[in-house]
Amino acid sequence: MAFQTNSKIVKWIDRRLPIFSMMHHELYEYQVPKNLNWWYTFGSLAGIILMLQIITGVVLVMHYTPNTELAFDSVEKIMRDVNYGWLMRYMHANGASMFFIAVYIHIFRGLYYGSYKQPRELIWMIGLVILLLMMATAFMGYVLPWGQMSFWGATVITNLFSAFPVIGEALVTWLWGGFTVGNPTLNRFFSLHYLLPFVILGAVVVHLWALHTSGSNNPAGVEIKGKKDWIPFQPYYTAKDMLGFAVFALVFSIFIFYSPDFFGEPDNYIPANPLKTPPHIVPEWYFLPFYAILRAVPDKLGGVLLMFGAILVLFVIPWLDTSKVRSARFRPVYKWWFWVLVFDCLVLGYVGSQPPEGALILIGRLATAYYFLHFLVIMPLVGWFEKPLPVPASIHDAVLADKKAKESADA
């Protein structure tokens, strides 16, 4: 039903700037599959966390000083002196971790239900661009407090670019604005750390635009065919997403109030010292699997290329997956490989967190090999020979079948 109102003011505005019609169209008329499960709330959750990061970030900038002499102390001042400064900083620092948890779950959800497949390839690819932007943002944010991990993390990561032949060294000097990570580096990272979240916001709008063009995928992996298959976003999914947010807020609060440094590194409470590397440097947890891939290769350029390749390969999976069936629910063979991949990523994360010694070197190499084999070999092959289970004729049928299965299990 088209947008209707009795308000003269709303009518006046809507005729000149159809913002109310648009909201109505995207919320009330937008058809959402009625069978979305809880894994589908992580997208809107990620959006809410992005807003939280922007709000707490803008507040932090009111008290933070981007200068190598002053940055560390200004963060300590935020923690001790600024009213509720500790809360703002802990929300921001833990919010970054929550953001990655939400987005990683969101991505694995997409992998399981085949949300990257035709016609949603661009939604998937824009999502990966958002992931890359988030990584850049979080990396530069972590440099701002100018602790030991800030400095050495920045040094190691920017040095990755020196692996490129010929231009490598010049590129790194250009990134630093000097001959080491220093004040010019801190200043430009601060500038970009402020900018990129708004670029992410723009990318999110494009992501949703593409989403609202093809519509949401769903656990059954079949498209909406009739009136019985869908419900409007508002009020049904707004309510569901709010409940998801409430649960998130609870978990978030536990970290902020009871274990605010859970995701942090104690070394980052030591001011940066350019002449002393801490004995064991690790990146933030959300980079660990990639760090493990970097270290799995004994060659510098090879490690760097493979690390970037780990994300780039995700851009082509819409074409690597040969299966006709979208959802892994109806893919008896691929389903298991999916869980092997989840396990593999956890193993990579663990290996990345440990010093590269003994058996861990071998485990890291095997896990890296599996990561690439999964996408480049298993995905095309399994889709080829696997015999999928019968796919429900419609979303409505899938819901009824679920209900029946549940009833007979209860009985």
The catalytic residue positions are 212, 216, 240-241, 284
Question: What is the helix (H) or strand (E) element at residue 318, kind and residue range?
Answer: helix 317-320
Taking CB under 6 A as the rule, which mask of x and - marks residues 99-128 in contact with ligand HEM?
Answer: x-----------------------------
295 binds, among another protein, ligand HEM, none (CB under 5 to 8 A by kind): another protein
134 binds, among another protein, ligand HEM, none (CB under 5 to 8 A by kind): ligand HEM
* 93 sits near ligand HEM (criterion: CB under 6 A): yes
Interacting residue with ligand HEM among 33, 85, 127, 141 (CB under 6 A) = 141
Number of other residues whose CB lies within 10 A of the CB of residue 131: 19
* 274 sits near another protein (criterion: CB under 8 A): yes
Interacting residue with ligand HEM among 46, 48, 107, 134 (CB under 6 A) = 134
Instruction: Give me the phi and psi of 32, to 5 degrees please.
Output: -110, 135
Peptide bond into 119 cis (omega under 30): yes
Instruction: Give me the phi and psi of 292, to 5 degrees please.
Output: -65, -40
Q: Please identify which residue in the block is written with the tokens 């708004």.
A: 198
Q: With H, G, I as helix, E, B as strand and everything else as coil, classify residue 316.
A: coil
Looking at residues 333 to 392 of the shown chain, list those that interact with another protein (rule: CB under 8 A). 355-357
Cβ pair 65, 74 in contact under 8 A: yes
* 53 sits near ligand HEM (criterion: CB under 6 A): yes
Of 41-49, 179-187, 195-203, 378-386, the segment contacting another protein by CB under 8 A is 179-187
Helix then strand count (H, E) for the chain reads 17, 2
Instruction: Give me the phi and psi of 97, to 5 degrees please.
Output: -65, -45
* 82 sits near ligand HEM (criterion: CB under 6 A): no
Looking at residues 169 to 198 of the shown chain, list those that interact with ligand HEM (rule: CB under 6 A). 193-194, 197
- How far from chain centre, in Å, is Cα 326? 22
* 54 sits near ligand HEM (criterion: CB under 6 A): yes
| Structure-block tokens of residue 110 | 């997409």
Instruction: CB nearer to another protein: give 155 or 268.
Output: 155
Least distance to ligand HEM from the beta carbon of 157, Å?
Answer: 13
* 57 sits near another protein (criterion: CB under 8 A): no
Q: With H, G, I as helix, E, B as strand and everything else as coil, classify residue 394.
A: coil
Peptide bond into 274 cis (omega under 30): no
Q: Total binding residues for another protein by CB under 8 A? A: 34
Q: With H, G, I as helix, E, B as strand and everything else as coil, classify residue 167.
A: coil
CB crowding 234-260: b at 16 or more within 10 Å, else e = beebeebbeebbeebeeebeebbeeeb
99 binds, among ligand HEM, another protein, none (CB under 5 to 8 A by kind): ligand HEM
Taking CB under 6 A as the rule, which mask of x and - marks residues 347-386 in contact with ligand HEM?
Answer: ----------------------------------------
Strand partners, 31: 232
From the list 200, 227, 183, 214, the residue with the least C-alpha distance to 121 is: 214
Q: How long a stretch of residues is the chain?
A: 411
Least distance to ligand HEM from the beta carbon of 261, Å?
Answer: 9
From the list 95, 88, 90, 113, the residue with the least C-alpha distance to 45 is: 95
Binding site for another protein (CB under 8 A): 152, 155-156, 158-160, 162, 173-180, 182, 184, 188, 274-281, 295, 298-300, 303, 355-357
Residues that bind ligand HEM (CB under 6 A): 50, 53-54, 57-58, 60-61, 64, 75, 89, 92-93, 96, 99, 134, 137-138, 141-142, 144-145, 193-194, 197, 200, 264
